[in-house]
Amino acid sequence: MIPFLIILLVIVAIIAFASIKVVNQANVLIIERLGKYYKTATAGVNIIIPFVDRVRATVSLKENTMDVPPQGVITRDNVTITLDNVVFYQITDAQKAVYEIEDLRAGIRYLAITTIRDIVGKMDLDSIFSSRETINAQLREILDVATDKWGCKINRVEIKDINPPKDIRDAMEKQMNAERTKRSSILLAEGEKESAIRIAEGQKEARILEAEAEKETNIRRAEGIQQAKILEATGEAEAIERIAAAKAKEIESVYGAIKNSNPDDKLVAIKTLEALEKVADGSANKVFIPFDATKALGALGSLKEITKD
At 122 the pLDDT is 87
At 90 the pLDDT is 93
At 47 the pLDDT is 87
At 291 the pLDDT is 45
At 262 the pLDDT is 61
Compute CA distances 116 → 80, 137, 179, 183, whole Å. Answer: 13, 11, 30, 34
At 275 the pLDDT is 56
SS3 282: coil
Q: State how far the Cα of 44 lies from the Cα of 218, in Å rounded to an integer.
A: 99
Closest by CA to 152, choosing from 165, 143, 160, 161, is 143
CB 123 within 8 A of CB 66: no
Closest by CA to 115, choosing from 94, 78, 85, is 85
pLDDT along the chain (309 residues), means of 10: 75 78 89 90 87 88 90 84 90 91 91 89 82 88 91 90 76 75 86 88 89 88 85 82 77 67 60 57 50 50 51
CATH number of 64-164: 3.30.479.30
What residues pair up with 83 in beta bridges, in sequence order? Answer: 71, 162
φ, ψ (nearest 5 deg) of residue 185? -65, -40
Q: Which amino acid is at 251?
A: I
At 217 the pLDDT is 87
The radius of gyration of the chain from alpha carbons, rounded to an integer in Å, stands at 63
At 94 the pLDDT is 92
Closest by CA to 40, choosing from 106, 99, 105, is 99
At 188 the pLDDT is 86
Sheet of 36-41: strands edge to edge? 36-41, 27-33, 53-60
* Model pTM score: 0.52
pLDDT digits (tens, 9 = 90+) for 158-169: 888 888 777 776
At 277 the pLDDT is 58
Domain ranges of the chain: 2-60, 64-164, 187-261, 263-309
User: What are 170-175's contacts with CB under 8 Å, separation 24+?
Assistant: none
Q: How many contiguous H segments (helices) and E segments (strands) does the chain have? A: 8, 8
